[in-house]
Structure 1
Amino acid sequence: MRRRMRHGEEEADVNMTPLLDIVFIMLIFFIVTATFVFEEGISPNLPEPSPQDEETTPPPSLLLTVQEDGFVLVDDVRLIDPRSTRPVVEEFLASEPEGVVIVSAAPESETGTTITVLDQARDAGGPEAYGRITVALQGEM
């Protein structure tokens, strides 16, 4: 005959420690004995650098900086009137046919002055030089 448990008696306690020990030992065993397969991916075909690319130099450039006072600074050397930009650009393009003209405008310079300088530079270079005349606007840092 089986006795019924009373409220005052202790219940049976299951000890889980040996089970957890075995699980961790098996986990360590499987990690140590596992083989890791490293598969190669696709290797990109990169172009080899050519010696021409390493030795190329940028084309000569003429920097026209439109200042806040309305004058144009040529290559940070001399100051000219915006309406006399055309002869300066013509002289530069005559000596450097592959040259590039950069028009840089200060943040507080007048828009009309910058457009005058740009138009004169484009007129001096002709239609074939339109791709070699660039405008850069300076911003506040």
Structure 2
Amino acid sequence: MKRKKHTSADDEAQIDMTPMLDIVFIMLIFFIVTTSFVKEKGLDVNRPEDNQSNTDKPSSSLSIRIDENGTITMGGREVDIRRVVANTQTYLAENNTDTAAIQAHEDTEHGTVVEVMNQVKVAGIEKVSVLVKGS
């Protein structure tokens, strides 16, 4: 009996990968071509520029305090409600600011706080914030 010699070609069965790679590339091209690139809808944001070298920035805000009795204090001294405009204009002449902070006690009448806010706006400060201080 003769023995057959096993060749390396018989031992290794090979699969032809070319048709499979062709199909993969065709599918890849199909998906790339059929994909629609849609710009998403949204809001355009206008971010402020960072100008740290700007010297026109306000130095500090005007601080006004109103206690529970309605006593108005500006700059460490007691002020009548009719003199808020004049004192605010004096403060603006000495300081470069565009904001005012009114710190009112929680028991202060609302009419007094609103009147002080109006007086400050008449004097030329548009940005007014109100802080309520508890007891």
Give the TM-score of the pair, scaled to structure 1: 0.51
Q: Give the SS at the match of 1:65.
A: strand
Query: Any idea what SS the aligned residue of 1:84 has?
Result: helix
1:3-18 maps to which residues of 2 (within 5 A)? none
Residue identity opposite 2:102 in structure 1:
V
CA distance in 2, matches of 1:98, 1:70: 25
- Give the superposition deviation at 1:87: 0.5
* 1:1-141 alignment, distance < 5 Å: 52=52, 59-75=59-75, 77-125=76-124, 129-131=125-127, 133-140=128-135
Unaligned runs of 5+ in 2: 1-49
Q: Give the aligned CA root-mean-square deviation in angstroms.
A: 2.5
Shift of 1:96: 1.5
| Alpha-carbon offset, residue 63 of structure 1 | 0.9
Q: Secondary structure at the match of 2:126?
A: helix
Q: CA deviation at 1:86?
A: 0.6
- Is the 1:59–1:99 contact (alpha carbons within 8 Å) kept by the matching residues of 2? no
Q: Could you say if the C-alpha distance between residues 130 and 99 of structure 1 is closer, same or farther in structure 2, counting changes exceeding 3 Å?
A: closer
State the distance in 1 between where 2:83 and 2:58 align: 27
Gaps of 5+ in 1: 1-49
Runs of at least 4 residues off by over 3 Å: none
* Aligned residue type for 1:64: I
Task: Tell me how far 1:82 sits from its aligned partner.
Answer: 1.7
Matched residue pairs, number?
83
SS at match of 1:97: coil
Alpha carbons 1:67, 1:106 under 8 Å: kept: yes
Post-superposition shift, 1:116?
A: 0.7
Inter-partner Cα distance in structure 2 for 1:67 and 1:83 = 17
What is the CA-CA distance between 1:139 and the residue it aligns to?
3.2
